Structure 1
Amino acid sequence: MVYLFCHGMVDSVIKTLIRVPTLEEACGIAQRFERAHSIPQIIGCVDGSHIPCLPPSDGYRDFINRKGWPSYVLQGVCDDKYCFWSVSCKMPGSAHDANALRQSNLFNNAQSFPKRAVQIEGQDVDFFLLGDPAYPLLPWLMKGYLQSPRLTPQEESFNVYLSSARTTIEIAFGRLKSRFRVLLKRSDFHFTFTPYVVATCCALHNFCEMEKEHVNPR
């Protein structure tokens, strides 16, 4: 039953619950992020989280993450309300976040993001995502300055504001795993099925967030 339900979700419902925001939605996301964190044009925060899995015997080492246990890398992008609008769970635990990004639909379809540039100090700045230092700096992906004694006060201040905004994705992952604790421990699902379970949980999480369902603490 679980297999049928998750396959059914991935084949149909997920596309309506996890999707790139429209231009109107993106404008609303950016406005709320700016009000909360004083950085304009943010439409999402991206990060990775490890999901325990039962790895295959062939290629086992590929699934061992830096903490020493087998996992998939769940890459997620969330809005300011902790809803995921992009998820990818296909890279084994040993993959670096930057590599997981390059292998995802998010990276391949970045040109399809909604666009609306605003002028900031004479420069046109379009919508963008926030990522941590593990990610590359791209036209649509912003990260903070590398920590250095040479940073100016303005650069240090920017890092503080950016870090504050980026906690949104960490909170989103926490709320997801509090709702669906199957994501916290290794299950006996075949490793090829685990991404279906993860995607289904992310979609149901979005539904719960939209309905303002309570989250029980872990």
Structure 2
Amino acid sequence: MGGLDDQWREILHQNRLHAKSNFCTSLPVDPDSVEKCGKNPPSPTGFKKPDCYVMKSTAQAQELICHRMRVTVKATTKERMKRLGSCAEYRLVSNQFGIHKSTVKKFTYMFCKGMLKGPTKELIRMPNEREASEIARRFEAAHSIPQIMGLVDGTHIPILPPSDGFKDFVNRKGWPSYVLQAVVDDKCCFRSISCKMPGSAHEANVLRQSDLFKRAHLLPKNIEGEDVRLLLVGDPAYPLLDWMIKGYINLTREQESFNVYLSSVRVGVEMSFGILKSRWRVLLKRSDFHFTFAPVMSSTCCALHNFCRLERDFPNSNWLEEINDPTANYPQSTQPVNCQYNASGNSVRAALTTYMANHFPLRTGHLH
């Protein structure tokens, strides 16, 4: 596991400096919680620290293409973090940093595209067998349900839609968006993301179009006489599969109890989206990015989210309070219940329901 590249050091260092300035409240990284990057402690989640050669070379190239006053790597680092962390318009960022708004746009696009080619692939990846087993062990220790290695859900990212095909992007709440589907682990790190379907798409269709189907290489384990894979937990909008489990609709006492245990696990994915948007607020509001760039920007923010989690740089509590204000943000679209299931998925869920009923107290409540 190599040390942090200079570009990543620069990101954290500049955010630490800016915490002392007048606009520190809008920075996406809390510098006071970041320890010295040079020590590079082992990652608690199994991720590799990214090789940022692409980002570094991109930043150096940006210095060369400026024909007037040279724009340094430090200045571009500040501008990128401000742009992604505040959802400020190009004009506002331009005025703050003394850089023309066309340059702000160019640097932001180059940074996000550079991230997508290199660091994002290392920061966002599905766990291997050893890591998946360890994640399942921690989920079971916290929530009692065995065999859970990830949580899957979607959230809507506001966009400026094209005039041609506008209706395809309008979600059930009536505003245009892309659907960001993500798998998160027990530490609120993103393990798989997909952001390529318009807001009108059902979550089940988003799932079918993602790479997740190809990455469900999970380990079998015998529970109550059934071979049970390591599982992902989805909400009622997803189909019931042999590698994806969700709660029941028509409930017995045992099934209701299973839903309550499952609901306690699913809180983690909503918390992850909340942390993501509270830090990278460009995902909160409709920004002036071209709609085709929204998936690249969303992927960059998810990768930076993971980077901050690895560095133990946790969000400010005030950020999380603001993100929960329903009057300040777009309402998230809800999806109808998906009744599709296969026989293997039904058997797996029944086996887990029996296991939970036999080994843990029955609980009552509502499916989250």
Write the deviation string for residues 199-218 of structure 1: whole angstroms up to 9, x where unpaired: 00000000111111121223
Correspondence for 1:137 = 240
AA in 2 matched with 1:59:
G
Alignment of 1:153 onto 2:253: yes
Report SS of the residue matched to 2:196. strand
- Give the corresponding residue for 1:82: 188
After TM superposition, the score normalised by the length of structure 1 is 0.95
Name the structure 2 match of 1:110: 215
Q: Unpaired runs of 5+ in structure 2?
A: 1-106, 323-368
2:269 aligned with 1:166, yes or no?
A: no
Cα deviations by residue, 1:149-182 (Å, 9 ceiling, x for unpaired): xx22111100000011011100000000011001
Deviations 1:27-56 (A, max 9, x none): 110001111111111110000100000101
Q: Distance in 2 between matches of 1:206 and 1:136?
A: 28
For CA contacts below 8 A with separation 6 or more, give which structure has more relative contact order: 1
**1:180 counterpart residue number:** 280
Matched ranges for 1:1-218 at <5 A: 1-107=107-213, 109-111=214-216, 113=217, 115-146=218-249, 148=250, 151-216=251-316, 217=319, 218=322
Instruction: Measure, in 2, the Cα distance between the counterparts of 1:192 and 1:119.
Output: 45
Higher strand share: 1
> What is the alpha-carbon distance in structure 1 between the residues aligned to residue 313 and residue 148 of structure 2?
25
Q: Output the amino acid matched with 1:172.
A: S
3-state SS in 1 of match to 2:118: helix
In the alignment, the residues of structure 2 paired with residue 117 and residue 99 of structure 1 have an alpha-carbon distance, to the nearest angstrom, of: 26
Distance 1:18 1:130 in 2: 19
Partners of 2:314 and 2:154 in 1: CA distance: 24
Q: What is the CA RMSD across the aligned residues, in angstroms?
A: 0.9
Counterpart residue type for residue 210 of structure 1: L
Moved over 2 A (4+): none
Query: Distance in 1 between the 2:139 and 2:310 partners?
Result: 18
CA contact (8 A) 1:110 1:140 kept: no
- 2: distance between equivalents of 1:79 and 1:214? 16
Q: Distance in 2 between matches of 1:66 and 1:126?
A: 34
Q: Is the 8 A contact 1:48 1:75 kept in 2?
A: yes
1:72–1:92 contact (8 Å) kept in structure 2: yes
Q: Structure 2-normalised TM-score? A: 0.57
Whole-Å Cα distance in 1 between the matches of residues 257 and 303 of structure 2?
Answer: 35
Structure with max Cα Rg: 2
Structure-2 separation of matches of 1:116 and 1:91: 29
| SS in structure 2 of the partner of residue 76 of structure 1 | strand
- Cα distance in 1 between the residues matched to 2:135 and 2:162: 40
Does the 8 Å CA contact 1:47/1:75 hold for their aligned counterparts? yes
Alignment size in residue pairs: 212
C-alpha distance in structure 2 between counterparts of 1:19 and 1:78, whole Å: 10
Higher helix share: 2
